[in-house]
Amino acid sequence: MRLGPKIITVGAFALAALLAWLSATLAAGVIETRSHSAVRTALIEANHEWARVHTDGLQVHVGGEAPNEAARFNALSVSGRVVEASRVIDGTTVRPAAPVAAPAFSVEILRNDEGVQLIGLVPAALDREAMAEEIRALAEGVEVTDFLEAADYPVPPLWVPSLNYALDALARLPRSKISVTAGAVSITAIGNSRDEQRRLETMLSRLSPENVAVSLDISAPRPVITPFTLRFLIDDRGARFDACSADNERGRDRILAAARAAGMEGKGACTLGLGVPTPEWPNAVIMGIEALARLEGGSLTFSDADVALVAAQGTDPALFDDVAGALGSNLPAVFSLNAVLPEPAAEPGDEGPPPPEFTASRAPEGAVELRGRLPNATVHATVESFARARFGVDAVYMAARQEADGLPEDWPVRVLAGLAALSEVDHGRVTVLESSLSLTGTSGNENARAEIARLLAEKLGEEADITLAVTYDERLDPLADLPTPEECIRRIEVILAARKITFAPGSTEVEGESAEVVDEIAEALRACRDVDMQIEIAGHTDSQGREQMNLELSEARALAVLEALGERRVPISRIRSKGYGETQPIADNDTAEGREANRRIEFRLVAAGDAAPDEDAIDDADGTDTAEPEGERTE
């Protein structure tokens, strides 16, 4: 059967179409595969491993999450260079940017004689102008230079108490660098003396707020010791220093080691200071201590370059000559030795008349009694005047008699030196004899014994026979005698009980007699400036007038008192003002007397948590967060 021409033609066209479709499909598949491979390779080489590629015919789809917009744009550009850009379909996204972290707020406060500089980054909510005013008030009007930058981020926790504490410390440190971050304060400062250094360290440690890490590095110049004194004794009470001085740590350690080798118990103490007469001081002192140890008793006194070696009574003369001779020969040339061997004790029955004696006793309450012998009326009057000048006109009871027989020529000098020594203790007794002086007493000064030994060596000479028994009582230390917060408030309550702070009708001005009352309160608060406490100044009114008006008036008056205290150089960073209007009466508002009693200003302690500032506001008086309700402070 023969096929017709039409069928053959149709079949040929169909076959050709099939072959064309197969060829196109095969070509598209090749192009798709090659495009995918080429684009993917190019992206990997361009460090875009994050990009995903798939093809759909001639279209090249690029997807994935780009780390940033620049990476996304670059990936599309790379793809467009490999294949025609119109074939590239963008399916990429950009990774969401991480929220910007709040900056680390910090302030560096530098204070010297030229003024105060503020450097750092602080929250934008901080009233920097108010803080500068507060610093000027705390630091007695010094110039404040503000180099601070501000950032509008939330105030971090502990930022407020840290900054408050730094401002309190700044008021007490004329030469200092204070670094503040949220929860940490670092203080580097210089004190005028060792005593001030100890006082500042104690005070700043007591004031440090809870949960704030405080680092203190307070140094003090070494004291100038004049004369440069050391006194070492060996007697029935053991080996010990009455006074010890050294010019450096190494010399001090060598001296203390020699003292321990001579029988001194414990670590011992030796003051580092300026004024050493020669670098050979430690070597000379060590030689002297070793010599006294060989004698097994007596005293060794250095006063600058003068050295006194006094043997104990009963020391073998031959041993004394050997020891004194060796010490005199070996001491550095600048030192001058005076070696003393006391006379043997009198035999029983040969005592003779009683030796002359002068005693002065000082009672804990301050009364001083003077007894014994003085040579004449002139010395009698001199001693009495000296005692009244030292101890108080009304504190001295004079019971000494005038009798010159048997008194040594230097007796007045010895008596006056004994009184000067007694004035260095809080209570005690000094006994002056012809050849010796002894003092027993109690002091609130840890260095009292060394200072007394230095004073007596200067007045009586290095070879003087001096016995000191001075004990330290922490309860008498002025640093340990700070008033309690309750005592500070009671002082203010006594002032307000005598005279009230009053205002003219409708006025918020502190003037007239009220200004005098605020003066007294300011003095009481300055005396309590080292006491850790939070104070609220509370304003109250009677019930006359509208309640809201009374509230606002009481708030304004309490704030006026706070500002008046600030003008009087009272640190106010730990004081807040608050008005209570007519809500807390203490008397009947139906009587004139009751209304007068209700119109009042009160000072009271508040718990630290109650006085904590609110996170959303900054106090306009001290540059710190406030905790007052709306309308509490009115300008």
Q: Which residues pair with 363 in a beta bridge?
A: none
- Other Cβ atoms less than 10 A from the Cβ of 41: the count is 12
Residues 6+ apart with CB under 8 A from 112: 174, 175
CA distance 84 to 59: 10
Q: Calculate the CA 190 to chain-centre distance.
A: 11
With 0-12 / 13-18 / 19 or more C-beta atoms within 10 angstroms meaning exposed / middle / buried, residue 75 is: buried
Q: Are residues 25 and 72 in the same domain?
A: yes
On the question of pLDDT at 102 being above 80, the answer is no
8-25 burial: b if 16+ Cβ within 10 Å, else e: eeeeeeeeeeeeeeeeee
With 0-12 / 13-18 / 19 or more C-beta atoms within 10 angstroms meaning exposed / middle / buried, residue 40 is: buried
With 0-12 / 13-18 / 19 or more C-beta atoms within 10 angstroms meaning exposed / middle / buried, residue 153 is: middle
369-387 burial: b if 16+ Cβ within 10 Å, else e: bbebbbbeeebbeebeebb
Kindly give the interhelix angle for 159-172 and 194-207, rounded to the nearest 10 degrees: 160
Q: Are residues 446 and 540 in the same domain?
A: no
Judged by phi (left if over 0) then psi (alpha if -120 to 50, else beta), residue 115 lies in: left
CATH code for position 140: 3.40.1520.20
Q: What's the pLDDT at 611?
A: 44
On the question of pLDDT at 373 being above 70, the answer is yes
Q: Residue 345 domain-assigned?
A: no
CA distance 74 to 322: 98
Number of domain units in the chain: 5
Q: In this structure, what is the dihedral angle of CA atoms 403, 411, 427, 259, given to the nearest 10 degrees? A: -150
- Other Cβ atoms less than 10 A from the Cβ of 364: the count is 10
Task: Categorize the per-residue pLDDT at 297 as very low, low, confident or very high, splitting at 50, 70 and 90.
Answer: very high
Q: What is the DSSP letter of 580?
A: -
Q: Residue 351 domain-assigned?
A: no
On the question of pLDDT at 27 being above 70, the answer is no
Q: What's the pLDDT at 181?
A: 94
Q: Residue 347 domain-assigned?
A: no
Q: Which two tokens stand for residue 350?
A: 């040969």
- Beta strands 336-340 and 306-311, pairing class: parallel
Q: Are residues 205 and 150 in the same domain?
A: yes
CA distance 401 to 384: 12
- Which of 62, 94, 126 is the last residue before a domain boundary? 94
Q: What's the pLDDT at 98?
A: 66
Contact between 84 and 54 (Cβ < 8 Å): no
Q: What's the pLDDT at 345?
A: 65
Q: Are residues 318 and 388 in the same domain?
A: no
Q: Are residues 366 and 438 in the same domain?
A: yes
Q: What's the pLDDT at 626?
A: 35
SS3 86: helix
Q: Calculate the CA 130 to chain-centre distance.
A: 24
CA distance 96 to 434: 95
Contact between 457 and 397 (Cβ < 8 Å): no
Q: Residue 35 domain-assigned?
A: yes
**Sign of the torsion formed by the C-alpha atoms of 126, 129, 134 and 135:** positive
Amino acid at 326: A
- Other Cβ atoms less than 10 A from the Cβ of 291: the count is 26
CA distance 605 to 483: 14
Contact between 285 and 265 (Cβ < 8 Å): no
Q: Quickly list DSSP for 582-601.
A: TSS-SS-TTSHHHHHHHSEE
250-259 burial: b if 16+ Cβ within 10 Å, else e: ebbebbbebb
- Closest C-alpha to 623, from 116, 128, 108: 128
Q: Are residues 300 and 377 in the same domain?
A: no
- Other Cβ atoms less than 10 A from the Cβ of 586: the count is 10
On the question of pLDDT at 96 being above 60, the answer is yes
Q: What's the pLDDT at 615?
A: 36
Alpha-carbon Rg for the chain, nearest whole angstrom, is: 44
Q: Residue 518 domain-assigned?
A: yes
CATH code for position 31: 3.30.1340.30
Q: Residue 492 domain-assigned?
A: yes
**Sign of the torsion formed by the C-alpha atoms of 148, 150, 156 and 160:** positive
Q: Are residues 211 and 237 in the same domain?
A: no
164-199 burial: b if 16+ Cβ within 10 Å, else e: bbbbbbbbbbbebbbbbbbeebbbbbbbeebbebbb
The predicted model gives 319-336 an average pLDDT of 91
Q: Which two tokens stand for residue 219?
A: 């140094």
Q: Are residues 209 and 241 in the same domain?
A: no
Residues 6+ apart with CB under 8 A from 129: none
Higher pLDDT, 616 or 224: 224
Residues 6+ apart with CB under 8 A from 239: 232, 233, 259, 262, 263, 264, 265, 293
The model scores a pTM over 0.75: no
Contact between 268 and 449 (Cβ < 8 Å): no
Q: Are residues 373 and 468 in the same domain?
A: yes
The predicted model gives 382-389 an average pLDDT of 94
Q: Residue 80 domain-assigned?
A: yes
Q: What's the pLDDT at 610?
A: 53
In the chain, helix, strand, coil percent, each to 5? 40, 25, 35
Contact between 232 and 241 (Cβ < 8 Å): yes
CATH code for position 532: 3.30.1330.60
Q: Which residue has the tokens 């030469």?
A: 175
CA distance 260 to 465: 23
- Closest C-alpha to 280, from 258, 305, 257: 305
Q: What's the pLDDT at 46?
A: 85
- Which of 448, 478, 508 is the last residue before a domain boundary? 478
CA distance 423 to 366: 10
> How much of the chain, in percent, has pLDDT values that exceed 90?
41
Q: Are residues 595 and 487 in the same domain?
A: yes
On the question of pLDDT at 616 being above 50, the answer is no
Q: Which two tokens stand for residue 56?
A: 């759909």
Q: Are residues 65 and 124 in the same domain?
A: no
Domain limits for position 242 = 229-327
Average pLDDT, the chain: 84
Q: Residue 382 domain-assigned?
A: yes
The predicted model gives 507-521 an average pLDDT of 89
Q: What's the pLDDT at 414?
A: 94
Q: Which two tokens stand for residue 573?
A: 């960073």
Task: Categorize the per-residue pLDDT at 18 as very low, low, confident or very high, splitting at 50, 70 and 90.
Answer: low
The predicted model gives 312-332 an average pLDDT of 91
Q: Are residues 495 and 589 in the same domain?
A: yes
On the question of pLDDT at 2 being above 80, the answer is no
Q: What's the pLDDT at 623?
A: 37
